[in-house]
């Protein structure tokens, strides 16, 4: 009831609006950093039963949203509320976006006193502003659990959209079995029950719908978009069984990664090196190919080939990927992970004593000689719970471990159950009913609430740091110094990169005051001084002289911390708007270059001339290529922005046409080669800082931003 729920006061976040940016705050190795201990989410395989896993995630995300929005239920084990945030991306130091809102909370979000009623409210509410990838560093999955990990991790969907896409796969794949394997006993030994092409088309349709903006922005297709993604964001692991295409006997667990896994040191122990599963570069196979590889269950789908390897369902011995995921994260990071959430697809009922003797002959008779399916079902049934028990023992006293798995009803369903064939409404309703019963258990609810509070507390700590923006938001930075930077590529991939640019290009020096010695006022903390010993100064004039002599900064622009952060805030743009702005500037620069070319050729009508101004001609050629790519990169913008861009382009064409009217035929041909119809389309190479280091996350944080146009994909 409303009266029994507690709501947080609309207070100010403890750390104000300045991001925490020291190494302690953003480090992957320092134990005091909120980033050093990772959060892991693992999904079991289980065919269409993976729908239950997403329903459990739905319940978790509703509990998370309540905490984030400042609500506390009487059922919560801890009654301390959090200050209100209205999205899982929110961070207090983003002064350009409101962290808290005065709008009333949705009625369906309010908790109930009764657990059964509270569970019912969960599935009547859509929590679209809160996404799992903001709470987990790694998501791993096997089989259809791999598909869940891809949707929530690589595609960064909310749970509601992922559930909707499950129906797409069910309708197009499990609702359309082949005739003979479905009706003729034993025929699926010679032919898989479902056509691989149907699965591939369904996966590409999901990709096209989920990554609509990304596909438009980079001018690629659902068939080609790679599994690899930004390693500074949530990382995705998909488990399959792989073997060399020339040797299909030795099948081993194979990890598809959206990030790089460095090869272990050759000096390390041999057994340690063997524990690293296929280390190397991030996988650039198309997303649909990775999803097909992990879900290629024998007799259901044909194996999937990718490069020199052939893959089948990872559920054969690795149906529960939590152990593999734990080992993977431990190998990559110095600190022990903080949390592992493992979600199953239903626990199969144990047969009564003596039932196996009566059951097995009938089962074999019904399946014919299809021993592959027997092997699949046996390995899935035995490996899942065995892995759970092993992981539970390993993590005891080391990390928070939660295992959620519906105990009755779901586990006994067929992997490809889907009734009716169109929509699967009966199957989905049955899975939902069994999952609700499980979620009404007091012990399950308590585990979910503890997990939710742990995740929210970690997100809040991380959101105060500089690193959060690259992990959760999609922004770019421009240098606010206009027109001082008008001839430079001023788009930067991170706030820290623009901070360094402020010093190197505009002589910004942060005023660093000495706090523990009254005899000196200021200290120089620039790189050269920090490496050899910090210099301190009693007067500002001494500091300025030092900056000129030691660092070559003659005209210093001093700024305290708040002033510098405010300057950086002025440079923050949503990524889509940043590309739009850059395109506008490039169009204007191109128009100015054309005007300069026309002026340089004034008075030469009727004569055959060569383009003597090679620098102007070369500049136009470069701008043509850049503008073409900028148009590609901003194709996902809204209609009004697209109309505005067309007007700019048309304006440029009109002015070019007017200049041609009084020109010679030879000059007409020259200008036609430089017209808008001949735009190149080369990748944007934004000018900016060079030689900057990599951040704690292992990725280059200093390089200016440029579109990450997918490289040539590996064939599947």
**What is the β-pairing status of strands 39-43 and 522-524?**
unpaired
Same domain, 255 and 221: yes
Do residues 399 and 543 share a domain? Answer: no
Taking the CB of residue 304, how many other CB atoms lie within 10 A of it?
A: 26
Provide the β-strand partners of residue 43.
141, 343
Q: Please give the residue that has the higher pLDDT: either 307 or 4.
A: 307
Q: Do 430 and 350 share a structural domain? A: yes
Is residue 709 situated within a structural domain? no
- Name the pLDDT band for 489 (thresholds 50, 70, 90): low
- The b/e string for 229-264 (b: 16+ C-beta within 10 A; e otherwise) is bbebbbbbbbbbbbbeeeeeeebebbbbbbbbbeeb
Most confident of the ranges 83-87, 188-192, 384-388, 447-451: 447-451
In-domain check, residue 82: no
Q: Does residue 700 lie within any of the structural domains?
A: no
419 and 536 inside one domain: no
Is pTM beyond 0.85 here? no
Mean pLDDT calculated for residue range 605-609: 46
In a domain, 687, yes or no: no
Confidence label for 11 from pLDDT (cuts 50, 70 and 90): very low
8 pLDDT exceeds 60? no
> Are 466 and 26 contacting, i.e. CB atoms less than 8 angstroms apart?
yes
| Domain assignment present for 301 | yes
**Mind listing the pLDDT tens digit for each residue in 347-364?**
887 655 554 444 455 444
- What pLDDT sits at residue 113? 92
Q: Return the percentage of the chain with pLDDT > 90, whole number.
A: 37
pLDDT in tens, 571-601: 888 887 877 777 777 777 778 888 888 887 7
Judgement on whether residues 159 and 269 belong to the same structural domain of the protein: yes
Distance CA 320, CA 575 (A): 37
* Domain end point (choices 471, 506, 529): 471
> Do residue 556 and residue 581 come from a single domain?
no
Weakest mean pLDDT among 151-165, 351-365, 632-646, 699-713: 632-646
Map residue 340 onto helix, strand or coil. Answer: strand
Q: Is residue 278 predicted with pLDDT exceeding 90?
A: yes
Using a pLDDT cut of 70, give the percent of the chain over it.
72
- Whether residue 496 is found in the same domain as residue 640: no
Residue 684 domain-assigned (yes or no): no
Nearest to 303 by CA among 199, 417, 206, 166: 199
Q: Which of 471, 501, 521 is the last residue of a domain?
A: 471
220 and 187 housed in the same domain: yes
Verify that 455 and 488 share a domain, yes or no.
no
What's the domain range around 642? 576-600+613-678
Instruction: Given the residues 313, 416, 445, 632, select the one marked as catalytic.
Output: 313
Which has the minimum average pLDDT: 507-511, 544-548, 632-636?
Answer: 632-636
Q: Is position 81 within any domain?
A: no
Domain end marker among 471, 489, 516: 471
Q: Is 486 designated active site?
A: no
Q: What is the pLDDT of residue 527?
A: 76
pLDDT at 438 over 90: yes
- The yes-or-no answer on residue 143 being catalytic is yes
Task: Give 421's pLDDT tier (boundaries 50, 70, 90).
Answer: confident
Q: Do 541 and 580 reside in the same domain of the chain?
A: no
The pLDDT of residue 253 is above 90: yes
> Which residue of the set 52, 53, 143, 447 is catalytic?
143
Same domain, 377 and 413: yes
CATH number at residue 322: 3.40.1090.10
**The residue to which tokens 């009566």 are assigned:** 358
Task: Tell me what pLDDT residue 472 has.
Answer: 95
Per-residue pLDDT of 524-559, as tens digits, reads 888 778 777 888 898 888 888 999 988 888 888 888
Residue 181, in any domain of the structure: yes
- The answer to whether residue 38 scores a pLDDT higher than 50 is yes
Q: What is the pLDDT of residues 156-171, one digit of tens each?
A: 999 999 999 988 888 8
288 and 203 in contact (C-beta within 8 Å)? yes
For residues 531 and 443, state if they share a domain. Answer: no
Indicate the number of domains in the chain: 3
More confident residue, 103 or 270: 103
């Amino acid at each position: 009831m409303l009266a029994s729920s507690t709501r947080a006061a609309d207070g100010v976040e403890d750390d104000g609006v300045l991001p925490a940016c020291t190494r302690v705050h953003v480090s992957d190795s320092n134990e005091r950093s909120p980033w050093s201990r990772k959060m892991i989410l693992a999904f079991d395989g289980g065919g269409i039963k993976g729908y239950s896993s997403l329903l459990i995630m739905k319940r978790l995300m509703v509990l998370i949203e309540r905490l984030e929005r400042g609500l506390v239920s009487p059922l919560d084990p801890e009654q301390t509320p959090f200050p209100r945030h209205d999205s899982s991306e929110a961070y207090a130091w983003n002064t350009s976006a409101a962290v808290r809102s005065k709008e009333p909370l949705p009625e369906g979000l309010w908790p109930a006193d009764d657990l059964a009623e509270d569970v019912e409210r969960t599935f009547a509410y859509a929590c679209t502003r809160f996404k799992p990838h903001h709470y987990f560093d790694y998501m791993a999955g096997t089989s259809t659990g791999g598909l869940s990990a891809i949707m929530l991790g690589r595609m960064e969907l909310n749970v509601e959209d992922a559930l909707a896409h499950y129906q797409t796969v069910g309708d197009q794949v499990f609702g359309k079995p082949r005739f003979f394997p479905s009706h003729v006993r034993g025929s699926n030994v010679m032919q898989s029950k479902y056509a691989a092409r149907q699965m591939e088309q369904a996966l590409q349709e999901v990709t096209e719908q989920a990554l609509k903006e990304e596909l438009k922005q980079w001018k690629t297709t659902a068939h080609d978009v790679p599994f690899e993604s930004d390693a500074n964001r949530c990382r995705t692991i998909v488990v399959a069984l792989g073997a060399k295409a020339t040797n299909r006997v030795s099948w081993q667990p194979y990890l598809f990664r959206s990030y790089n896994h460095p090869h272990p040191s050759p000096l390390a122990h041999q057994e340690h090196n063997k524990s690293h599963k296929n280390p190397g570069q991030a996988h650039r196979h198309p997303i649909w190919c990775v999803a097909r590889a992990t879900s290629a269950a024998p007799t259901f789908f044909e194996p999937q080939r990718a490069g020199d390897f052939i893959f089948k369902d990872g559920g054969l011995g690795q149906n529960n990927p939590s152990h593999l995921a734990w080992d993977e994260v431990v190998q990559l990071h110095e600190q022990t992970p903080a949390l592992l959430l493992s979600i199953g697809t239903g626990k199969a009922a144990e047969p009564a004593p003596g039932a196996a003797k009566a059951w097995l002959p009938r089962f074999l008779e019904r399946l014919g000689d299809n021993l592959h399916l027997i092997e699949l079902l046996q390995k899935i049934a035995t490996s899942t719970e065995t892995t759970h028990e092993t992981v539970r023992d390993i993590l005891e006293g080391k990390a928070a471990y939660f295992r959620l798995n519906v105990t009755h009803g779901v586990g006994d369903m067929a992997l490809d159950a889907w009734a009716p064939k169109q929509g699967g409404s009966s199957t989905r309703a049955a899975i939902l009913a069994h999952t609700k019963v499980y979620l009404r258990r007091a012990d399950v609810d308590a585990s979910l609430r503890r997990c939710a509070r742990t995740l929210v507390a970690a997100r809040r700590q991380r959101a105060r740091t500089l690193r959060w923006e690259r992990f959760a938001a999609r922004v770019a930075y421009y240098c606010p110094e206009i027109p001082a930077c008008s001839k430079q590529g001023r788009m930067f991939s991170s706030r820290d990169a623009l901070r360094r640019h402020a010093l190197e290009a505009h002589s910004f020096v942060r005023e660093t005051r000495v706090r523990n010695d009254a005899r000196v006022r200021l200290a120089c903390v620039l790189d050269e001084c920090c490496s050899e010993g910090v210099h301190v100064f009693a007067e500002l004039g001494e500091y300025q002289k030092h900056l000129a002599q030691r660092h070559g900064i003659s005209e210093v622009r001093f700024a305290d911390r708040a002033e510098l952060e405010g300057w950086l805030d002025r440079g923050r743009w949503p990524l889509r708007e940043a590309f739009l702005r850059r395109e506008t500037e490039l169009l204007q620069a191109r128009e100015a270059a054309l005007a300069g070319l026309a002026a340089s050729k004034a008075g030469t009508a009727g004569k055959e001339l060569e383009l003597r101004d090679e620098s102007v001609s070369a500049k136009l050629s470069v701008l043509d290529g850049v503008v073409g790519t900028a148009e590609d990169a901003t194709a996902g913008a809204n209609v009004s922005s697209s109309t505005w861009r067309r007007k700019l382009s048309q304006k440029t064409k009109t002015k070019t046409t007017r200049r041609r009217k009084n020109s010679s035929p030879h000059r007409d041909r020259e200008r036609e080669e430089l017209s808008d119809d001949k735009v190149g389309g080369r990748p944007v190479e934004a000018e900016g800082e060079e030689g900057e280091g990599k951040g704690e996350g292992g990725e280059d944080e200093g390089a200016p931003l440029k579109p990450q146009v997918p490289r040539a994909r590996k064939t599947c």
